[in-house]
Amino acid sequence: MTEPTASSPELTEGDIVELTVGEVAHGGIFVARHDSGRVVFVSDALPGERVRAEISEVKKRFARAETLEVLDASSERLEHVWPEADVSRAPDDRPGGAEFGHTSVAFGRELKRRVLADALARFGGVEPEFEVSSLGNDDETRGTGWRTRVTLHVDDDGRVGPFAARSHRVVDVRSLPLAFPDIDELAQQIIAKGHRGPGRIDFVAPADFEVRMRARVKGASTRKPELLRERVGEREFAVSEDGFWQVHRLAAVTLYDAVQDAIDRSRFDVSAQHFDLFGGVGLLGAAVAELAGKDARVESVEDAKEATELALTNLAEWGGATAKTGRVDRYLHGLLDSGADALAAARAGTVVLDPPRSGAKADVTEPLAELAPAQIVYVACDPVALGRDTGLLRERGYELTRLRSYDLFPNTHHVEAVATFVRA
């Protein structure tokens, strides 16, 4: 490692530099500018701080750095909620998954709001007013104990733990503070003993609070995944143990209610054909169907066959509910080739769009806008993807009329948003 000098201002990997930290950027990192003029994205910092950092990567237009020492701390800085992820530990040994753990949950929400607002303005051309809402008592617990699904990894030497931040190297930890307490307790027993590897170990604590553990070593699982029962209010959902379900204990009910609240009732035709695209096991399709009533016509579309089969089960109480397996873009193109009656029913309907982190993209937004449903409720887990897709939908005649955001992942950089789009 070398100290840069005035005669050699260009950054190289391993350099130790002092940086004044600016605003937050997408991905849980912060923007600084080195004396050479190069932008540096630095982790484990906060706006306004002066830090000593190590350059970990140098690209043509920017560099990345890890904070080694905080020279002038922000008033928002707190002792890290996860001791192993603190700046006092070497960067290579810090576990990932708690990028904002060195501040309060409330200020973490403000950082997420800034990132989402910036993405919507830059890529979507809109500047809605909104806040990021907390769940339950997360402020009181500093956002601990909420993860009901945790994956640890096993390296070639049998060491068990999380990956280091931005790495696939297993690091030693003595705590998992974001995990549901019973998962943390069981995981610590496995960490202490070690496990044959390489592979991964998945822990899940569903609605019955009984923790399940399943190891996958060298591609082989120790047992078949169990069929779990999750609950949203009084409603029950069947979910595969290795299938997708919201991780925060309160996330599923939060999104269920948020989707119902996001639907513009003046544009909601209970007799129309509604859609839950990227529908998973039917959680949000059920939210729409409940509003439409016992004769609801809701079709869930998902490319994972097992999830589609479970969606059929979870939506069975509505006689008009269906589920299809397939890619959403191909499904929409097929729908556009339907008969006049089917198209009319679809155009009067409401679409819930819950894409993966990469977003819907033009492959989906273009045929969706051509279908021209009465409204689109977009559930987003990535600010930049939502910003980009907002721009795409606006280009095709839709406008953002409502936005709500939720902190489903305290102490991380991830944030959820639910946006309503209607034809202008």
* Both tokens assigned to 107: 């200020």
354 is in an annotated binding site: yes
138 is in an annotated binding site: no
The catalytic residue among 29, 152, 374, 381 is 381
Q: How many helices (H) and strands (E) does the chain have?
A: 10, 20
Give the three-class secondary structure for 63. Answer: strand
Q: Which residues pair with 405 in a beta bridge?
A: 132, 417
381 an active-site residue? yes
User: Could you tell me which residues come within 8 angstroms of residue 98 by beta carbon, excluding any fewer than 6 positions away?
Assistant: 80, 81, 82, 85, 177, 178, 411, 412
57 is in an annotated binding site: no
Distance, CA of 264 to CA of 270 (rounded, Å): 12
Angle (nearest 5°) at CA 406 between 207 and 393: 115
Query: Letter for the amino acid at 73?
Result: A
Q: 199 phi and psi, to 5 degrees? A: 165, -150
Distance, CA of 295 to CA of 165 (rounded, Å): 49
Distance, CA of 12 to CA of 58 (rounded, Å): 6
Q: 311 phi and psi, to 5 degrees? A: -60, -40
329 is in an annotated binding site: no
352 and 288 in contact (C-beta within 8 Å)?
yes
Distance, CA of 206 to CA of 227 (rounded, Å): 10
For 201, the enclosing helix (H) or strand (E) is strand 199-204
* Catalytic site positions: 381
Annotated binding site for S-adenosyl-L-methionine: 246, 278, 302, 354
Annotated binding site: 246, 278, 302, 354
